[in-house]
């Protein structure tokens, strides 16, 4: 799948920042591809890049409208269809990470055909995956896991890729969600894989490698989330992780989108080791990534110090303070 850049990021009329996390992720990690944003009335998200009309975007060289939103069920709201049709009529391709296929909507399919434009459904792959085997394979793997969904698992894995490479590690980010695929240009959206083949798809994403090569596998959901635990478990088994980093948002008391209480970091560590031991008995935690976006710097540093003391693991906000402590831990526990 070759998606033409640069992008015009479509945010629709989403109610908050998290609902546009695909757009934020692409803009944070590939800002040179994001020329502007297209927002509808009532949109509460803002990437901090220029608001453009379709005509302005085309004039500035945009080639693809990226539907940069997420929602429960991955549906495309009916009132967005006209905007996407207009983008196709203006000469843009359209790419989406939603579950619904763009071409399944007659108005969009018709506009793409009339204008010779491409539709990219990043969440859907043409690969055929085997079932997972759990057989030990060479190479090293780190998985980011979470106390909830949308707590920074992708950002942590990307920050670790950058930080580890700077320290001389042979390390690659492995995308398992639609935003990660947009950012890296490779991977598979695990939540769109038939359940029986989730662990096999992760084995495909992070295959056998050189003994000291690290695959940094983007986590999804949470083992404790009533909606997404099945995906998280299949991902854990397929990753065959040697190491994991727990990702956490300290201001939450309930899991996103449900009434379930947030688990503790220790509960996540314990369950991850228990379940992950099925395919790698040596699995171990190497750090805690805390999303401190909602905290002042002083509050953030206090939370990190408390978290590090409580668990005996390096704790950091990977975006705000870097990942040096976690990389130090990896160097100590997994010498080359």
CATH of the domain at 208: 3.40.50.300
Residues 193 and 265 placed together within one structural domain of the fold: yes
Q: CB-hemisphere CA count at 13 Å for 187?
A: 27
Q: What is the pLDDT of residue 336?
A: 84
pTM: 0.84
**Rounded to an integer, what distance in angstroms lies between the CA atom of residue 108 and that of residue 93?**
11
Number of domains composing the chain: 2
Query: Would 31 be classed as within a structural domain?
Result: yes
Q: Residue 321: pLDDT band by 50, 70, 90 thresholds?
A: very high
Q: What is the pLDDT of residue 316?
A: 98
Q: What is the pLDDT of residue 1?
A: 58
> CA torsion angle for 199, 200, 202, 208 (degrees, to 10)?
130
What mean pLDDT comes out for the span 130-148? 97
Q: Residue 84: pLDDT band by 50, 70, 90 thresholds?
A: very high
Q: Which of 137, 43, 45 is nearest to 83 (CA)?
A: 43
Q: What is the pLDDT of residue 71?
A: 80
Q: Residue 252: pLDDT band by 50, 70, 90 thresholds?
A: very high
Percentage of residues in the chain having pLDDT higher than 70: 100
Residue that terminates a domain, selected from 89, 121, 153: 121
Query: Would 35 be classed as within a structural domain?
Result: yes
**Rounded to an integer, what distance in angstroms lies between the CA atom of residue 78 and that of residue 39?**
16
Query: Would 127 be classed as within a structural domain?
Result: no
Residue that terminates a domain, selected from 121, 148, 173: 121
Query: Would 266 be classed as within a structural domain?
Result: yes
Q: What is the pLDDT of residue 70?
A: 83
**Averaged confidence pLDDT in the chain:** 95
Query: Would 128 be classed as within a structural domain?
Result: no
Query: Would 132 be classed as within a structural domain?
Result: no
Domain carrying residue 78: 7-121
Q: What is the pLDDT of residue 74?
A: 83
Q: Where is 174: in which H helix or E strand?
A: strand 170-174
Query: Would 94 be classed as within a structural domain?
Result: yes
What mean pLDDT comes out for the span 200-215? 97
Per residue in 13-34, pLDDT (tens digit) is: 999 998 998 999 999 999 999 9
Q: CB-hemisphere CA count at 13 Å for 294?
A: 10
Residues 194 and 93 placed together within one structural domain of the fold: no
Residues 54 and 113 placed together within one structural domain of the fold: yes
Query: Would 135 be classed as within a structural domain?
Result: no
Q: What does the block give as tokens for 31? A: 């800002």
């Amino acid at each position: 799948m070759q998606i033409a850049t640069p992008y015009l990021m479509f945010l629709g009329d989403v109610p908050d920042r998290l609902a546009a996390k695909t757009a934020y992720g692409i803009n944070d990690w590939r800002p040179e591809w994001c020329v502007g944003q297209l927002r509808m009335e009532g949109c509460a998200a803002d990437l901090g890049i220029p608001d453009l009309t379709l005509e302005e975007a085309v004039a500035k060289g945009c080639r693809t409208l990226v539907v940069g939103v997420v929602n429960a069920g991955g549906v495309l709201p009916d009132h967005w269809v006209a905007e996407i049709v207009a983008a196709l009529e203006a000469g843009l391709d359209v790419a989406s990470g939603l579950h619904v296929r763009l071409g399944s909507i007659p108005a969009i399919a018709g506009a793409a055909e009339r204008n010779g434009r491409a539709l990219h459904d990043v969440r859907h792959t043409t690969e055929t995956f085997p079932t997972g085997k759990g057989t030990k394979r060479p190479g090293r793997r780190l998985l980011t896991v979470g106390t909830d969904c949308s707590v920074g698992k992708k950002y942590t894995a990307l920050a670790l890729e950058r930080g580890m490479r700077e320290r001389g590690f042979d390390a690659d980010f492995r995308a398992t969600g639609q935003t990660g695929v947009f950012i890296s240009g490779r991977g598979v959206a695990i939540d769109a894989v038939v359940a029986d083949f989730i662990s096999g798809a992760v084995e495909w994403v992070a295959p056998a490698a050189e003994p000291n090569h690290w695959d940094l596998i983007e986590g999804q959901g949470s083992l404790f989330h009533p909606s997404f635990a099945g995906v998280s478990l299949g991902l854990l088994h397929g990753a065959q992780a040697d190491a994991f980093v727990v990702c956490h948002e300290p201001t939450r008391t309930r899991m996103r989108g449900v009434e379930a209480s947030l688990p503790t970091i220790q509960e996540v560590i314990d369950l991850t080791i228990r379940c992950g031991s099925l395919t790698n008995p040596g699995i171990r935690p190497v750090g805690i990534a805390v999303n401190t976006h909602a905290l002042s710097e002083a509050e953030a540093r206090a939370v990190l110090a408390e978290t590090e003391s409580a668990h005996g693991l390096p704790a950091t906000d990977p975006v705000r303070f870097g990942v040096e402590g976690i990389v130090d831990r990896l160097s100590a526990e997994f010498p080359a």
